[in-house]
Amino acid sequence: MEKSNDIDITLSGDGESENILQSKALQKRKKRLSFSKPIRAPVVIYDSTGSEFVQEAIRTKTLFGTLEVRHTVNVHLSILFRAVGLFLYRGLTRDPYWRLASPGVIYDCATLMIMKPKVVLTFIDNSHRFGILSRIYSRAQFFAIQNGFRGPRVQDFPRTIYVKNLFCHGQETIDKYNEAGHKVDRYIIVGSLKDGLYRAQHKGKKPKRFNLCFISEYRHERFSTSMPGAAHNAKVVLGYIERYSRRHNATVCIACSSKDTIVGGVNESSLETQFITENVDLDHLEFVPNDGRFSTYAAIDQSDISINLQSTVGLEAFGRGCKILFCNVTGDPYYDIPGVGKTGIWALRAGENDYDAFEERVNHIIGYSQEEWLVKTREVARYFVSSEDSVLPQQKIIEEIGEYI
């Protein structure tokens, strides 16, 4: 493979993408120290964030360990000794990937030298640090598993992704990453791991309980700082949903997004509930708390139609055949589903006073039989998130890494 010294993609500096990056840059993490020697394992899961889903996929097939990189710094002498040698090597080598290696990457490499894995997996697929690590540690195969929708524009990527192997959702990811100039050696389309784990546990059709599901994308920081357009969109769409429910006597659920994060001394889930109730006034509104796993997946499956902006879970549901409406009332194309996804029965670009268009589209989609809906949407839906009934994503992942362990 041709080596490159490029590490950054210049941002457009406009709108929401700049807000998002500035907000993330201000987030600081407190780390604790560890003094224990890392344990050897044939498979290492890199980064504990989302690791529970990777563990669930592989635990019956192999032993594994976890390399925590966000909250803990291991200062065991065996790691420090190797890290010193690696820093010296980086200063002498001309290898471009070694020259790009940050202190964090050097630390990770030193740790892997002790753990001696054959395969390294991560659920943080857009990690620049993991990508560089995959280039300099040659004694293991590295695989990233896509956990979310990226973009929607190529300029929204702050840094080049260098991971060697990527288990991705669909062809849309490949096309977008190639356009953005990312250095991925091999793409393996498997669909969504979380969606696959959900489908493995919830086989068969769920009975419908709701007419409409609103997929909340609320985060206090997101709505107040980095993506105010998403907050505005939610307010308008919730108003539309209230009108629709009153006019059609429709049942509505809210698939909540927030967890138990404390914001200014208040539980973020309480702030989300407050935001929702300030913008929709219905007596029989059912909130579905985010359980950190599959609560939103189940709420979507139990609804005739689900409304959202451009969420990953919405695209996953779209891929598995659910009736989804991606509704953008901001007038900002940043919030459109990109490419072929932005036009079609599943996507509505409306204004703040376009309730009639919203009502017509919702009725139109609900009126389709499941077979008619699949005929109209299957090709585009699976372009974003592949979804096969015969082989689940976790089965494809296990088969692939099984060749190396």
Q: CA 110 → CA 5, 105, 181, 278, 289, distances in Å?
A: 23, 9, 29, 51, 41
Confidence of residue 2 (pLDDT cuts 50, 70, 90): very low
Query: Could you give the residue ranges of the DSSP H alpha helices within 202-284?
Result: 220-221, 228-248, 268-279
* 43, 405 contact by CB (below 8 A): yes
Residue 29: what pLDDT?
A: 57
Nearest to 275 by CA among 254, 290, 292: 254
Instruction: Judge whether residue 91 has pLDDT over 80.
Output: yes
Instruction: Please give the model's pTM, rounded to 2 decimal places.
Output: 0.89
Residue 153: what pLDDT?
A: 67
Instruction: Judge whether residue 72 has pLDDT over 90.
Output: no
Confidence of residue 260 (pLDDT cuts 50, 70, 90): confident
> Angle at CA 135, nearest 5°, toward 134 and 140?
50
DSSP β-bridge partners for residue 349: 328
Confidence of residue 348 (pLDDT cuts 50, 70, 90): very high
* 276, 237 contact by CB (below 8 A): no
The structural domains of the chain, ordered by start, are: 15-191+394-401 (3.40.50), 200-384 (3.40.50.2000)
Nearest to 67 by CA among 51, 78, 56: 51
According to DSSP, residue 330 is labeled S
Quick one: average pLDDT of 9-32? 47
